[in-house]
């Protein structure tokens, strides 16, 4: 991970914090979203640049205290690659 510590990034992801990162000229926004009515939440990924008008990915809702980051990290969202595969090229831009 460029400009950040991967372990801190993963810990913040697990807590549902808002994270902004870039990969190959694209800027992404990852956040945890809670639905208090259903008492569940999940991770959601948006692409900010180039603009996209909807979520790129939404995780499976869960009632757990922390977000399941494995689902996100293993999903093939980035040119057919997982977050684990692209991590060396990811730049954390909000740290």
Tens digits of residue pLDDT in 18-71:
999 999 999 999 999 887 777 888 899 999 998 876 789 988 888 887 788 999
Residue that the structure tokens 């208090």 belong to: 36
**What's the token pair of residue 56?**
């790129």
Given the structure tokens 């595969």, which residue do they identify? Answer: 85
**Could you give the CA distance from residue 12 to residue 70 in angstroms, rounded to a whole number?**
13
pTM of the model: 0.87
């Amino acid at each position: 991970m460029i400009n950040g510590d991967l372990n801190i990034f993963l810990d913040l992801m697990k807590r549902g914090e808002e994270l902004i990162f870039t990969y190959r000229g694209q800027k992404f926004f990852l956040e945890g979203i809670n639905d208090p009515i259903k008492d569940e939440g999940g991770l959601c990924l948006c692409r900010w640049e180039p603009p996209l008008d909807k979520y790129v990915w939404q995780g499976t809702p869960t009632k757990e205290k922390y977000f399941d980051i494995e689902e996100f990290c293993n999903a093939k969202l980035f040119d057919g690659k997982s977050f684990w595969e692209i991590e060396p090229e990811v730049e954390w831009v909000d740290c």
